[in-house]
């Protein structure tokens, strides 16, 4: 990121208002969000090394390999986005069918296969001399698992930071989750040459319940309650503004936890983790760019292209980790590769989100693109 601009100014303006507002309106916490992210990464690694016992005890609080403290933090991040969703308007998402088509194409026809190619090039060839020879194929398998399932929960966060259309985001994620139920195992089996893929269905179904069904239900009940009152739209806007710093604090706390869980492993294998992180980073940026450009080519508005690009780039790391452990074992290279995906998810996706926001003027300069603002929560209809 450039040194002359605030570290995360383009990323966080959705929380402060529209993206046309000046960066001077942002507080220091928001303005330097990227700095806080990297400080939390360093703090997490240090805490994981110094307080190994308590951190691992938190890591062991799992149901179907879903960490419950992390799930609570994700709830705090996604509920503000879901408060903006007007379920009655979901029928209008068909007007964004081009964005839906682009996202589905990138998620299911490009991303798993591009990750397999990048894994073979970087891990199987370019970086092979610096990696344990007996783990190379396992690392590549982990990368494929990571790319074969699109993200569920964190996409709500990235969409909100990118001023995304909330109804489009929810509809796209729900559609991806439905496809994932039938497509994940065949794609993984095809790319890894496995005759049978043991899909951790409990992890998959519980994730959908925890990260979509329950927070959406809670958000809609709160939304309906507020909008029934006089000046309910203003009350809803104030609530979302109030939740803004809580959402950011939850994001940073999640980083501390995730890096704390893996602090010892990072310290023991820094080179391996760095080398695995490179193809994952390339994959995220490649798929985000592809989805973004395709949306521009077909004329999707920026508030659809942003979340489409981010949904096309991010990964469902809980499912990937669980599947890697089920197929290859906890100590395998595949499990390590999926964990690296967890570790770099937030910093890399923040970078992708910032690029989406900073390029908005260029994006909307295309004569094919129809400018459309994401709906403001304070004026949304019940």
- The domain that contains 280 carries what CATH number? 1.20.1530.20
In a domain, 175, yes or no: yes
In a domain, 48, yes or no: no
pLDDT band at residue 25, thresholds of 50, 70 and 90?
A: very low
How many structural domains compose the chain? Answer: 1
Average pLDDT along the chain: 83
Q: Is the pLDDT of residue 98 over 90?
A: yes
Residues ≥6 apart with Cβ < 8 Å to 313: 283, 284, 285, 287, 288, 291, 349, 352
Structural domain for 163, as ranges: 62-237+267-362
How big is the chain, counted in residues?
A: 382
pLDDT (mean) for 323-345? 84
In a domain, 374, yes or no: no
Does the reported pTM lie above 0.85? no
In a domain, 168, yes or no: yes
In a domain, 50, yes or no: no
Determine what percent of the chain is predicted with pLDDT higher than 70: 87
In a domain, 248, yes or no: no
Q: Is the pLDDT of residue 380 over 50?
A: no
In a domain, 249, yes or no: no
pLDDT (mean) for 301-328? 88
């Amino acid at each position: 990121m450039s040194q002359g601009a605030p570290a995360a100014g383009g990323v966080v303006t959705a929380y402060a208002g529209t993206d046309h507002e000046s960066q001077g309106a942002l507080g220091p916490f928001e303005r330097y969000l990227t700095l806080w992210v990297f400080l939390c990464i360093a703090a997490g690694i240090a805490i994981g090394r110094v307080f190994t016992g308590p951190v691992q005890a938190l890591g062991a609080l799992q149901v179907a390999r879903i960490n419950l403290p992390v799930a609570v933090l994700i709830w705090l991040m996604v509920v503000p986005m879901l408060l903006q969703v007007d379920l009655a308007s979901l029928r209008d998402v068909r007007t964004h069918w081009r964005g839906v088509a682009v996202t589905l194409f990138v998620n299911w026809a490009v991303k798993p296969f591009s990750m397999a190619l990048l894994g073979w090039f970087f891990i199987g060839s370019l970086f092979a001399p610096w990696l344990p020879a007996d783990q190379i194929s396992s690392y590549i398998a982990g990368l494929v698992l990571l790319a074969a399932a699109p993200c569920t929960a964190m996409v709500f966060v990235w969409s909100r930071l990118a001023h995304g259309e909330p109804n489009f985001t929810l509809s796209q994620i729900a559609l991806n989750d439905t496809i994932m139920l039938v497509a994940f195992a065949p794609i993984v089996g095809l790319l890894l040459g496995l005759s049978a893929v043991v899909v951790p269905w409990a992890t998959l179904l519980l994730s959908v319940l925890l990260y979509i069904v329950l927070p959406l239900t809670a958000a809609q009940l709160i939304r309906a309650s507020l909008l029934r009152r006089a000046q309910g739209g203003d009350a809803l806007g104030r609530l979302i503004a109030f939740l803004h710093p809580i959402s950011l604090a939850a994001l940073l706390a999640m980083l501390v936890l995730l890096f704390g869980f893996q602090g010892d492993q990072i310290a023991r294998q820094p080179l391996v983790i760095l080398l695995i992180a490179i193809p994952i980073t390339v994959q995220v940026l490649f798929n985000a760019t592809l989805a973004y450009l395709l949306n521009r080519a077909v004329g999707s508005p920026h508030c659809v292209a942003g979340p489409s690009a981010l949904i096309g780039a991010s990964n469902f790391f809980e499912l990937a980790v669980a599947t890697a452990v089920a197929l290859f074992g906890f100590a395998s290279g595949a499990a390590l590769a999926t964990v690296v995906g967890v570790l770099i998810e937030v910093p890399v996706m923040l970078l992708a989100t910032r690029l989406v926001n900073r390029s908005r003027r260029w994006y909307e300069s295309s004569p094919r693109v129809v400018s459309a603002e994401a709906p403001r929560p304070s004026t949304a209809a019940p």
